[in-house]
Structure 1
Amino acid sequence: MDIVDENFDHAQVEGTKNGMKVRDGIFLPNGVRNLSYSKCFKLRDDDIFVSSFPKSGTTWTNELVWLITHNLDYEGSQNNLEKKIIWLDPGIPTNVIDDADSPRLFKNHLPLQFLPDDIRTEKIKKIYVLRNPKDMLVSTFHFYRKLVKDEFIGEFKDLVNLFEEGKTWYGPWWSHVDSFVELPNTFIIVYEDLIKKPFETIKCLGEFLGKKLSDSQVQFLIECTSFKKMKEGESKFKSDAKHSNFFKSDLVFFRKGEIGDWKNYFDEENSRKVDAVVEKKLKFKINFIYEN
């Protein structure tokens, strides 16, 4: 898969080892190589997009969506790790996207402006994954410290400051959320709902995807996408040699998967900063769950 690298602006950003790429005022990981691919491919009516800000529960949601749309074929899901989901962010050549079998499942953290215009239409199913921003930031902090090209070397407070300024990868967070949740034919999955009321949440997700799941099927999905089960599969992901170019060997992809870990990292000042962002900058009104 040959990717033609585009030219990006570049910015030195406090807390980052190698700075960030910049396009249209949006700060991006250095691993993003070509945005024209993600913008220009032709959509199909049965395409499904799973979009989110990083570390919000995308992998969990992707697994659920794939299983629901493939008749709960758990064995098949374990044998098609690289082919089952198209990750748009780095830059996937258009011919590779065009050759993929339907229904195509796309995942991305890219802001809406870098995706095909037709994603805004009613016919395309969109799923947006949302997590309380405090736990999201803690997960982000640990994950980005284990990246090779985009290693974060700052302190946790530095990441909170970047979040407040809209300079985290793919940010600003509030405009990312607001743009996606307003799209037609969009199902919003709240990470905390998957933890606290998984049966109801997965049942509704199935209905959105056109599948009437039985109670036993929902229970199966809960069990085979549990944090423990997903954690067990992490070794397959990390054993892939090509991932050594992106992740350090001690990466923990599935770290805790719980609600409330933010209390171990936030002081009162930083907590207030995030609260202010939610209250003053996020147009989408939601009562985030911060307690388990």
Structure 2
Amino acid sequence: MDAVPRPEMFDFHGISMIPSFTKNWENIQNFQARPDDILIATYPKAGTTWVSNILDLLYFGQREKPIPLHDRVPFMEMCNPVMGSGTDLADKLPTSPRLIKTHLPVQFVPKSFWEQKSRIVYTARNAKDNVVSFFHFDRMNMDQPEPGDWSSYLERFKQGKVLYGSWYDHVSNWWKKKQTYSNLHYMFFEDMVEDTGREIDKLCSFLGLTPSAEEKERVTGGVQFDNMKKDGMANYSTNIVMDFKVSPFMRKGKVGDWKNHFTVDQNEEFDEDYKTKMKDPTLQFRTEI
């Protein structure tokens, strides 16, 4: 693992990115979305895999032949020699609807998604738990920039100097988009932890799906964190760039784990900084449930 050099971040149209997410940029921007596509959008480590698995089970149920989730739900901006390009994988998907995931800020989403009025499911997670999860993910994923220590990582997160840029801008700009684009369903990670079944009902309502009670129970059971963590097709254990000895891809999936990482001073400083950056009173997050 140590032999693989970590990528360096660089400024890409105002957002911190790495080469494997930008080298296929022309194909990403020219990607041809379809009206029945479903784009799963999140800031990294906000529940992407969870929502991807829910949608895959709702539409396609238990597959006869196990296929890793990252092949069933391609990562649109990914482009590397091992995984190939996300746009190619999406174009080759035999399923309908196509489920495609992205961490792109709203201004980077290919315009065909808006033109085709494709449905978009955005999931947001409170900043404190999100930064903790992102930090541990960057520690174990050799395809991510070197995270450094926790306190310096936390400062960079506040400044938007982590991969995919500012959490504050990401969640706020997607929230603004929801006001003008009716085919966008905005979900909160904390709500899903609190009552997965309720949030799946809301998701089904948005998608026009009417699963039977048995189907809904199967999906809700299948996407419980402990079940997904053990599921080799969903937990990314087949991914060679992730070092599970450092940290599992699916670590805790809880609300409030930030309390095990933030010092009292860090928490107070974070809260003050948060107030200056999150001005929209209609967008509210819970840091505990």
Identity of matched residues, %: 29
**Cα deviation, residue 223, structure 1:** 0.7
Give the C-alpha shift of residue 150 in structure 1.
Answer: 2.3
| Runs (5+) with no aligned partner, structure 1 | 1-15
Answering whether residue 281 of structure 2 is matched by residue 291 of structure 1, we say: no
In structure 1, the residue corresponding to 2:255 is in which secondary structure? coil
Q: 1:179 to 1:121 in 2, by over 3 A?
A: farther
Conserved? CA contact 2:38–2:119, under 8 Å: yes
Q: Does 1:99 align with 2:119?
A: no
Shift of 1:76: 4.7
52, 58, 65: which one pairs with 2:48? 58
Kindly tell me: are residues 77 and 138 of structure 1, through their superposed partners in 2, closer, same or farther at Cα, counting changes over 3 Å? farther
User: Counterpart of 1:48 in structure 2: which amino acid?
Assistant: I
**Counterpart position of 2:72:** 84
Contact 1:203 1:213 in 2 (8 A): no
Corresponding residue number in structure 2 for 1:209? 207
TM alignment of 1:118-267, pairs within 5 A: 118-121=112-115, 123-181=117-175, 182-183=177-178, 184=181, 185-234=183-232, 238-240=236-238, 243-244=239-240, 246-250=241-245, 251-267=247-263
Distance 1:74-1:44 versus aligned 2 partners, 3 A rule: same
List runs of 5+ in structure 2 lacking aligned partners. 80-84
Map of 2:105 onto structure 1: 111
Q: What letter corresponds to residue 38 of structure 1 in structure 2?
A: I
Alpha-carbon separation, structure 1, partners of 2:88 and 2:32 = 10
Compared CA separation, residues 79 and 289, structure 1 to 2 (3 A): same
SS of 2:140's equivalent?
A: coil
Residues 133, 274 of structure 1: 8 Å contact kept: no
Q: Deviations over 1:261-290 (max 9, x none)?
A: 100111233223433444332354333222
Q: Tell me: CA distance 1:174–1:135, structure 2 relative to 1, closer, same or farther (3 Å).
A: same
**Equivalenced residues, count:** 272
Cα offset for 1:201?
Answer: 0.8
The normalised TM-score by structure 2 is: 0.84
TM-score by length of 1: 0.84
CA contact (8 A) 2:34 2:113 kept: no
8 Å CA contact 1:127, 1:187 repeated in 2: yes
Structure 1 residue identity aligned to 2:129: D
Contact 2:106 2:174 survives alignment (8 Å): yes
Q: Matched residue of 2:172: which SS?
A: helix
Most deviating of 42-51 and 207-216: 207-216
Q: Following the alignment from structure 2 to structure 1, what is the Cα–Cα distance between the partners of residues 263 and 230?
A: 33
**Is residue 39 of structure 1 aligned with residue 35 of structure 2?**
no
User: In 2 relative to 1, CA 247–80 (structure 1 residues): closer, same or farther, beyond 3 Å?
Assistant: closer
Task: Let me know the Cα RMSD of the aligned residues.
Answer: 2.4
- The 3-state SS of whatever aligns with 2:216 is helix
Deviation sequence 1:129-186 (CA, Å, 0-9, x none): 1111111111111111112132434221111111111111101112211222224111
Distance 1:265 1:82, change over 3 A: closer
- Deviation of 1:39 (Å): 1.2
SS of match in other structure, 1:51: strand
The 2-side partners of 1:67 and 1:116 are apart by: 26
Query: What is the deviation of 1:67?
Result: 1.4
Compared CA separation, residues 149 and 96, structure 1 to 2 (3 A): closer
Amino acid of the residue matched to residue 288 of structure 2?
E
Counterpart of 2:71, as a letter, is: K
